[in-house]
């Protein structure tokens, strides 16, 4: 079972920000910004390339709720999802990084 499925099952502790029946948002273990949250579906999907559009739509609404909850709506934030080997994805369970709480540098 993958690390994030273990987090969903409660076998690995996490600092939960927001949760509902289908999604979980929790603090990244190695934060790259003042606010660095990981957002995942509770069901295992390897990466963005494989997620069903309906689930991705529901996840979009959940991500927007997370952004509201942590107060980054006004000042803005960054969303990142790494996909596969060339995308430098380390954990093979789709996740969005929500980064903010400070001025981030440009990456593109």
- Considering only the stretches 40-48, 57-65, 69-77, 85-93, report the one whose residues sit in contact with ligand DGP under the rule CB under 6 A: 85-93
The reply on whether position 47 binds ligand DGP by CB under 6 A is no
Start-to-end Cα distance in the chain: 34
The reply on whether position 12 binds ligand DGP by CB under 6 A is yes
The reply on whether position 107 binds ligand DGP by CB under 6 A is no
Backbone conformation region of residue 88, classed left if phi is above 0, alpha if psi is from -120 to 50, else beta: left
Q: Is 95 a catalytic residue?
A: yes
Residue 97's CB is within 10 A of a number of other CB atoms, namely: 18
Residue 54's φ and ψ, nearest 5 degrees, are -65, -45
Residues lying near ligand DGP in the complex (CB under 6 A) are found at 3, 12, 14, 26-30, 38, 82, 88-91
Q: Which residues are catalytic?
A: 95
């Amino acid at each position: 079972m993958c690390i994030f499925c273990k987090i969903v099952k409660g076998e690995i502790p996490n600092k939960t920000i927001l949760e509902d029946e289908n999604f979980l948002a929790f603090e990244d273990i190695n934060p790259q910004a003042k606010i660095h949250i990981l957002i995942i579906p509770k069901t295992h999907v390897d990466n963005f390339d494989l997620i069903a559009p309906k689930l991705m739509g529901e996840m979009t609404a959940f991500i927007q709720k997370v952004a509201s909850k942590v107060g980054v709506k006004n000042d803005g934030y960054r969303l990142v999802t790494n996909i596969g080997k060339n995308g430098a994805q380390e954990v093979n369970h789709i996740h969005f990084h929500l980064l903010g709480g400070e001025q981030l540098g440009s990456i593109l």
